[in-house]
Amino acid sequence: MHVNKAEAIIRLTRIEHSVMLAIAVIAAEIITKALPGALALMLSLATPIFISMGAFALNDYFDVAADTVNKMRRPLVIGAMSRKEALAVGIGTLLIGIAASVFINMSALIVALVFALIAVLYSYRLKDMPLVGNVFIALSMAIPFIYGDFVVSNALQPSIVMISLVVFLGGLAREIHGMMRDYAGDAKARHTKNVVHHLGIERASYAALILYAEAIIISVYMFFSTAPFAYNAVYVIPILVVDAVLLYIAIEYTRSPSRRFFNSARNISLGAMAASILIFLAAALLYVYI
């Protein structure tokens, strides 16, 4: 199947993830009731979008051998791009993301710099260290909320802290599931000794289940305690649906799932986490504007 260069770049940088991060930044800004001006808003969205693109491009650059073993249909594996091109895209987009934060404020710039640096270290080495790399990826899912808060505020709001915990725990659980899915290729190509290597498949699946359960408990607690989610029907009904989907996936992972399940669960869990970000945004909009 022929893949043109534009499509290859889209696949390489996983732009759908960047869209999720941009929505998370907007949600955080709205929750603070302090949306920035048009220029600052565009710059605040450019940072997570381009840093995320760069992180994924560099990940594929370093992971081409493992992806080949795992038979992943990624641009470098199928020959749609060269490693040199992927490296150029990765570095270029990271620099654009960092540059955008220069014009916002010092706090935003520091957050952008730290996570761009860790993104490079993750792809090069951290992902092979037990738990460390996975914690970074989970943090990268939560950091857009923290970043969005700092764009318009000098302190973290309690609601942002709660959201960040939910996203971090869910993201870490999803990372463990990803390691289970890719373990054969990672062990063969990179000699990875990650959490799955040390815990084993079964115990790793239960660790992910516990993490998802903790995220679900906090998400429900937010309905009773934290504005703008407290007693907000726009929040609680959809989030319970998302919680149920993620809990189902986590339970199924403990039952020796097939490769087919791995592939479908990956997309479903990503969709569920994307939906949760939209739910946070919708609840914040209702709280602010009525």
What's the pLDDT score for residue 110? 92
Determine the 3-state secondary structure of 35 from DSSP.
Answer: coil
Instruction: Pick the range with the lowest mean pLDDT from 39-53, 106-120, 193-207.
Output: 193-207
What's the pLDDT score for residue 184? 61
Q: How far apart are CA 180 and CA 277, in angstroms?
A: 25
- Delineate the domains of the chain, giving CATH numbers in brackets: 5-289 (1.10.357.140)
Mean pLDDT of 239-243: 95
Q: What is the pLDDT of residues 122-177, one digit of tens each?
A: 777 776 676 777 788 888 889 999 999 999 888 888 899 999 999 999 999 988 88
Rounded to two decimals, what is the model's pTM?
0.82
Residue 255 has pLDDT above 80, yes or no: yes
Tokens standing for residue 137: 């990826």
Q: How far apart are CA 264 and CA 261, in angstroms?
A: 5
DSSP assignments along 93-142, one per residue:
HHHHHHHHHHTT-HHHHHHHHHHHHHHHHHHHTGGGSTTHHHHHHHHHHH
Q: What is the pLDDT of residues 217-227, one digit of tens each?
A: 999 999 998 88
Q: Confirm if 120 and 61 have CB atoms less than 8 A apart.
A: no
3-state secondary structure 239-270: HHHHHHHHHHHHHHHCCCCCHHHHHHHHHHHH
Using a pLDDT cut of 90, give the percent of the chain over it. 32
Residue 20 has pLDDT above 70, yes or no: yes
Angle between helix axes 158-189 and 132-152 (nearest 10 degrees) is 150
What's the pLDDT score for residue 31? 87
Please state, rounded to an integer, the average pLDDT across all residues of the chain. 84
pLDDT band at 47 (very low <50, low <70, confident <90, very high): very high
Tokens standing for residue 100: 């955008």
- CA nearest to 205, candidates 196, 214, 213: 196
